[in-house]
Amino acid sequence: MSDYVLDLSGIRKTYRGGVEALKGIDLQVPRGCIYGLLGPNGAGKSTIVKILTTLIRRSGGDGTMLGKPIGDRETLQKVGLLPEHTQFPPYLTGRQVIEFAAGLQNVPSALTRERTDALLAKVWMTESQHRQIKTYSKGMKQRIGIAQALVSDPKIIFLDEPTDGVDPAGRREFRSLVRELREEGRTIFINTHILSELEPIVDRVAIMANGEILGEGKLDELRTEKTGYVVGFEGQLSAKSLSKLQDGDLEVDGGSVRLPSTNALDAQPVIDLIRQEGLVITDVSLKSQSLEDLFIGLVGGGSSPPPVPGNSVQPPRIPQA
């Protein structure tokens, strides 16, 4: 079997009304990794996930998931999905949502109870399992959403904007949960436009906009560009030194000076100047391009894509689990 859990070639989607949401996507996702699909609103991220989970049909192209053609029914049993903007029936309890998903995914009833208990514990929802969804915070709903995506013990899990509206503590918990899923040998495919969320955990990313993939690879490979030295110091620079640095086009920000050069020699006069002032150098480091810099470089400054005809058409609401 191919080492890729997902192997897509030339996937296209044109929605009714003529919106070309995907213009020929080639994508290979290795087994057992955390894969990030990044892109601004309207890039086509959810469209890819909907095609792979057969919520919608592709207009062209081919591909395999877990070694079988896209749409293979048996394979879908090994796939978990947390759709974008999921809304569970508000009158169900958290536990019932997971059990309902287990029923839909044909999980044997003998296994459902044990698995639901384990999943509730995994997403820290054991205590609140008997409360109705309508009493949950956004973060709690998302945790139940992730748990129901895991109920079939999937090999690949699609999480579409999983931390939408979740607070920083919740995001942190999410990252540790996703790492745990990878350790269990699963592949986790995450759609997001929140870059900071992925940066600490992703193994590979694809960056897309306007229905096309603009860059793909390991973060370190993509971030080849070093942006320059940063010299950190403690204390207050005199106005004279400050203006000398600023005249030299260096960015001075509180306790650090940022140089637009990756040559260590260029950092020396800055270090000398700071030391002559009697201040302490605390750090000298060569900074790499952040994921955000990379993203902006590929996608362009604006967070929205250029207008596409019919772009105002709302995507369909995904059937709830």
By CB under 6 A, name the binding residues for ligand ATP: 15, 17, 19, 21, 39, 41-47, 84, 193, 308, 311, 313, 315-316
In this complex, which beta carbon is closest to ligand ATP, that of residue 43 or of residue 259?
43
Q: Does 46 bind Mg ion (CB under 5 A)?
A: yes
The rounded distance, in Å, linking the Cα atoms of 296 and 99 is 42
CA angle 176, 178, 179 (to 5 degrees): 65
In this complex, which beta carbon is closest to ligand ATP, that of residue 174 or of residue 233?
174
In this complex, which beta carbon is closest to Mg ion, that of residue 46 or of residue 128?
46
Task: Report the DSSP pairing between strands 79-82 and 156-160.
Answer: parallel
Q: Does 84 bind Mg ion (CB under 5 A)?
A: yes
129 binds, among ligand ATP, Mg ion, none (CB under 5 to 8 A by kind): none
- Helix then strand count (H, E) for the chain reads 11, 14
Residue 223's closest CA among 287, 303, 279?
287
In this complex, which beta carbon is closest to ligand ATP, that of residue 70 or of residue 245?
70
| Residue 258, both tokens | 């940022």
Name the minimum Å distance from CB 59 to ligand ATP.
12
In this complex, which beta carbon is closest to ligand ATP, that of residue 89 or of residue 310?
310
187 binds, among ligand ATP, Mg ion, none (CB under 5 to 8 A by kind): none
Task: DSSP for 88-156, please give it.
Answer: --TTSBHHHHHHHHHHHTT--HHHHHHHHHHHHHHTT-TTTTTSBGGGS-HHHHHHHHHHHHTTT--SE
Name the minimum Å distance from CB 230 to ligand ATP.
32
190 binds, among ligand ATP, Mg ion, none (CB under 5 to 8 A by kind): none
| Residue 4, both tokens | 């890729």
By CB under 5 A, name the binding residues for Mg ion: 45-46, 84
